[in-house]
């Protein structure tokens, strides 16, 4: 059974950077996404990475600012966030599915971490 644990969130000023990490409990390679949820908002799939490293991006406002990557040797997926904006404030979750294809539908990811809070504010 896959377990995921996020880390790296926190409070950052606009224009700042954060690197989120998602550690997996097994070395099995899953399709993994970063999904965010702002207060009172629905879940939004931001970026996804497949086991072989192919990526998909679903939020226009983060393109060019966020980069998803994975280090399979460390069982870890990362989200590098730069030039952060207040609109990026949300709980960020990593989530995974067994099918080797990314999807923008949050409900299609079976395994979820507990989430890490990212707050962008002056």
The DSSP code sequence of 93-122 is EEEEESSSS--S-GGG--EE---EEEEE--
Q: Which residues pair with 18 in a beta bridge?
A: 81
Q: What is the pLDDT of residues 39-84, one digit of tens each?
A: 999 999 999 999 999 999 999 999 999 999 999 999 999 999 999 9
* Helix (H), strand (E), coil (C) string for 35-57: EEECCCCCCEEEEEECCCCCEEE
- Give the mean pLDDT of the chain: 97
Confidence class of residue 27 from pLDDT cuts 50, 70 and 90? confident
Helix-strand-coil split of the chain, %, nearest 5: 10, 45, 45
User: Rounded to whole angstroms, how far apart are CA atoms 59 and 38?
Assistant: 14
Work out whether strand 10-12 and strand 116-120 pair parallel, antiparallel, or are unpaired: parallel
């Amino acid at each position: 059974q896959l377990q995921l644990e996020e880390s790296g969130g926190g409070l950052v000023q606009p224009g700042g950077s954060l690197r989120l990490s998602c550690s997996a409990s097994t070395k099995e390679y899953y399709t993994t996404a970063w999904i965010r949820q702002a207060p009172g908002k629905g879940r939004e799939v931001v970026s996804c990475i497949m086991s072989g490293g192919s990526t998909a991006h679903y939020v226009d406002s983060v393109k060019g600012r966020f980069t998803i990557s994975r280090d399979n040797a460390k069982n870890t997926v990362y989200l590098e966030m730069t030039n952060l904006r207040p609109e990026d404030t949300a709980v960020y979750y990593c989530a995974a599915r067994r099918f080797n294809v990314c999807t923008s539908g949050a409900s299609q990811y079976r395994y979820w971490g507990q989430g890490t809070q990212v707050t962008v504010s002056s």
